[in-house]
Each structure stands twice: as C-alpha cells, then as structure tokens.
Structure 1
Amino acid sequence: MALNKDRRIGRHAILLLLSDNPTEQLAKLEQSNWKGCLGKVGSMDAQKIVAAIETAAKKNEIVKTDVYRESHALYHAIIEALHGVTRGQVQLGSVLRTVGLSFAVLRGNPYDNEQEGDWIAVSLYGTIGAPVKGSEHETIGLGINHI
C-alpha cells in the first residue's frame, strides 16, 4: 500500500494549478489515466466557490453526477482546500472578505496498488482580502479525499 512518490496527487494538483503550461501538464497526467480540469472563480460567497468547482468537475467528467460518493468526496476536498485559503474559518462575505481564485481538480490513484482506487485533489490559488481593490494578499489551499 505504498504511496508512490511520483504519483502524489496533491503535489500534482498544485503543480498543475501553478504551471506556466497547464495544458501540457494535464496531458502528461492524462497519459497516466488521471483526469483533471482547471478553472477560475471569484466571490464573497463560499457557496458560489463550491458550486463553480463542482460544476467544472462534473462537466469535465472527473466525478460521475449519478454516484453520490464521488460528489461527496469532491465536496470534502473542496471544503478542505477552502480551509487552507481562509486559514481555518470558511467565512468570506459575512466577515467582509472576498477571493479571486484559480483552481485545479485532479483524480487518480496515487498508490502502487491499483486496488487502492481513485483519490481526488482540489488545489486553490489566488487572492483573499477586503472587498477593496489593492487590499488583498496571496493564498493557497489543498484538499485531498478518497473516492
């Protein structure tokens, strides 16, 4: 049940998100039977961020819409990534904070043993701050969950 160092899903999700050439990076991952997508979202509402990421993952067939455990795993990975972005308190508009984020969703098996099954990672990178231009700073978050 060893975690394969070359298949660390969180690391790959962050590298995909921060890549200067994400299309090429994603094509390499897809050669290993991994699936991924990228997108952007900005909001003062955490629900809109969750919805945008879920929609992108479903539209790009990273999770099956009719299998609850897949959507559930994605949801928990998103919330975990948001905890990193918001430093543990998933609150935005209610405390006058807004985010502008890029995201990557990646699905694959990070283990040598195929029977371990797929995992999902969500990485977020962008800015967070008061809803006033110039009052933001960088932020990053990562969430990983088994499917």
Structure 2
Amino acid sequence: MAQKIAIGKIAVLLAALTEEELVAMGPVLNGVSYCQGKVGSMNMQKVISAVETAAKRSGLIHQTNYRDTHALYHAILEGIEGVTRGKPAIGEVSRTVGLRFAVVRGSPYENEEEGEWIAVAFYGTIGAPIKGLEHETIGLGINHM
C-alpha cells in the first residue's frame, strides 16, 4: 500500500509559512511532490496562470495531459473561492490579492486504487487596492487526478 500523504495540510503549510519556518518541515517534505510561488494582482486570470505555470515548470502536471490540467484548474478555482469567500471575483469588485501559493501532488489514501490527487493552497491578503486596507485570507482546493 502507498503511504498516506496529507496533501491539503502540507499545501496550506507550504503556502502560509515563511522560508525560515519551512526549514523545520524538511523531513516531512521528503518524497512529497510540490511547488510554491507568489502572485499579486487584481486580475483573476493572472492568479490562475501563475499557479498553472509553476505547476507545469516544476513538472507536477504534464502540459500535454488534459486530465492533469483539468484537475489543477478545479483545485485552483476551489482554493480561490476560499480566498474570496465564495465569490470568485477580485478586480471586478475593486479588490486586490497578494498571495503565496503551494501545489502538492500525492496519494492521500492508503488504498492505491484511489490514485493521485492535487491540492492548491493560497495564503496572503485581500482587500481594497489601497496599501494597508487588506486583511489575511486563505483558501484550499483539492481535486482527484
């Protein structure tokens, strides 16, 4: 049986912790496939594209495999819903985001037949496009591959 990996928990930690805080996670991350990145924008497509680009460049998803891209897209959208409190809109409603994100791919179930899943976590700020008027936000999306 495959080892169970808490992909959502790992993704949230990778997105939320600073570089210094992540050092202590080194042993936990052995054998975990992940990537990280940052994005700030009032444009939702830029947020989606930043995550997709990071996942493709790191080899977490295969560019030519529609199933991989489709699963990642749905995990991103689910994570964005958490960031935006259920209404996936930022610039259209005069909000901006500054986010760190993490994408983790793995097997969250001991039963190998359940296959691989992908988790996308966001942590950062959202608010009016005026410095200092934003507040913390977090979102997590998980989808089967």
- TM-score, scaled relative to structure 2: 0.90
> 2:101 aligned with 1:95, yes or no?
no
> 2:55 aligned with 1:25, yes or no?
no
> Partners in 2 of 1:139 and 1:124 — Cα distance?
8
> Partners in 2 of 1:51 and 1:23 — Cα distance?
28
Gapped runs of 5+ residues in structure 2? none
CA positional deviation for 1:22: 3.2
Gapped runs of 5+ residues in structure 1? none
> Partners in 2 of 1:140 and 1:14 — Cα distance?
8
Matched AA of 2:25: Q
The question of whether the paired residues in 2 share the 8 Å contact of 1:26 and 1:36 is answered with no
2:54 to 50, 53, 56: 56
> Partners in 1 of 2:33 and 2:83 — Cα distance?
23
> Partners in 2 of 1:104 and 1:37 — Cα distance?
6
CA positional deviation for 1:18: 2.4
Distance 1:145 1:40, change over 3 A: same
The question of whether the paired residues in 2 share the 8 Å contact of 1:127 and 1:138 is answered with yes
- After the TM superposition, list the runs of 4 or more consecutive aligned residues in structure 1 that deviate by more than 6 angstroms: none
> CA deviation digits over 1:107-138, x for unaligned, max 9?
00011112211100000000000000111000
- How many equivalent residue pairs? 142
Segment of structure 1 superposing worse, 91-100 or 107-116: 107-116
Q: Which residue does 1:81 correspond to in 2?
A: 79
